[in-house]
Structure 1
């Protein structure tokens, strides 16, 4: 049964893992840490005789631990000083402690390295399956715990309420949306129009959490591009003549588009049409 407790701080999670690794491997020294800004800073050390391991920071691909992280599997050496299978970037730390045998185990989450734990001894020791199997169990349990925490944090972020816009900010957002619709209406470049549409969707996303709840049966209302252009301008209080000038349309055409939008939204006035469009998330 794992000795790693749930819901403890990440630092404590690693500390417990280091202690458990020493117990299950019976190696006198154990240490490790998690990746932070691209490197593993060793934050927990037990059994050491000196302070040489203090400040050890391991980069992927470098040293025994870096190789373990890149290959996503345990790496070991029973004669660290003479090993030709690794880089020796960290000799001052490892040899300073006098370690000869060293085992490095990557902490893996969703196929990516998140840290590394080490177990070592001052004398040459043979490392076999009897040792590596329980050692891998330690890092796998840490990886599982980190994966669960990541998922919890993701769900919390998704559930977090969006920032509330004040009246001025909300009006600015609506004006920006109407201006974008007016600009897009004059474009012939479909790619550029698509980019503007992407921005519009983000603006709608900002407004959506504050939209008035729909108390009527949910219906699918589809407004044409031009109908939405006209309605977004009308939402800002523009007259038909002003909308016609903004969108380079005839005033009679504006009236026709506005009438079609009102009909689809089952609204008798342009104000009612704007209100319903906002409730349905068609306008911010």
Structure 2
């Protein structure tokens, strides 16, 4: 490997504000905001000083989020497929690493002006795969040559997986919304197959959220859950007014029960003991004044707790 780049004179660290232009209403979290959160997490979790990333638009990676940069060299960067480190990661659908970016021979150097202009010596690129399709790439880098072992790779993969899950869920929500809007005005009720798919999506959202410890990600997942649940609100009779407050775990268990899952299957999905699942079900049934799990699900739907 060649020599690392000289250390730049210290200047204030900066975060890209370009993501603001890509968002709509404050209550509607965009894909760009999800990406920006992931890039910020890269800096926090990997301890690499600079991170950036972009989603794919018209076949190219458009970098919209930058955290920790000391210059403006990366601003507006657009990476074509198969070009540079990120372009290789995109088409190969696997992480790519350049410990000494300047002398790396396995990549093209179309973007040296941006990368070397920031003073980056080591660069690690991880593709964001959603349902087998590369949707973007996130990068983390250092201003001196640095090894990328488990300390960096594992948290970077975790961030990529979290972003992938969120984008996949957002895609499904948008698909359901589009389906609902396309329904003929004669009958607002969703077809049975669409309604069942909606409930499966909601249950999966709940199971994913239950395994996430990051409060910011949990909050975003909660908003998506609310949107999924709201899709069926116009397709049913007016909501029943019930003075009932179920715990998050009771809702998780009921959402799985609504799909016909057994206690054992619910326990496996939510990583709980079967006896714990039974306890949550009994508690939810008592609160909803229901004698069976089926009746509890029906009451929860009438109250707008479940889709």
Q: TM-score, normalised by structure 1?
A: 0.54
Please report how far the alpha carbon of residue 129 of structure 1 lies from its aligned counterpart in structure 2 after TM superposition: 2.2
Question: Partners of 1:148 and 1:106 in 2: how far apart?
Answer: 17
For the pair shown, which has the larger CA radius of gyration, 1 or 2?
1
1:46 to 63, 67, 78: 67
Q: How does 1:1-284 map to 2 (within 5 A)?
A: 8-162=29-183
Q: CA deviation at 1:74?
A: 1.0
User: How many residue pairs were aligned?
Assistant: 160
The RMSD of aligned alpha carbons is 1.8
CA distance in 2, matches of 1:85, 1:24: 27
Please list the CA deviations of residues 120-153 of structure 1 after superposition, one character each: whole Å capped at 9, or x if unmatched.
1110001112211110110111111111111111
Shift in Å, 1:161? 3.9
Whole-angstrom CA distance in 2 between matches of 1:67 and 1:129: 21
Give SS of 1:42's match: strand
**Equivalent position SS for 1:137:** helix
CA deviation profile, 1:239-270 (whole Å, cap 9, x unmatched):
xxxxxxxxxxxxxxxxxxxxxxxxxxxxxxxx
1:164: how far off? 6.9
Secondary structure in 2 matching 1:54:
coil
| Residues 7-58 of structure 1: CA deviation (Å, up to 9, x unaligned) | 6222211111001011111011000011112111110111111111111101
Distance in structure 1 (CA, Å) of the matches to 2:185 and 2:115: 53
CA distance in 2, matches of 1:98, 1:32: 17
How many angstroms apart in 1 are the aligned matches of 2:84 and 2:96?
10
Distance 1:130 1:29 in 2: 16
Inter-partner Cα distance in structure 2 for 1:161 and 1:121: 48
Gaps of 5+ in 2: 1-26, 187-307
Provide the C-alpha distance between the structure 2 equivalents of 1:43 and 1:81, rounded to a whole number of angstroms.
Answer: 23
Question: Secondary structure of the residue that 1:43 maps to in structure 2?
Answer: strand
- The Cα shift of 1:114 comes to 0.2
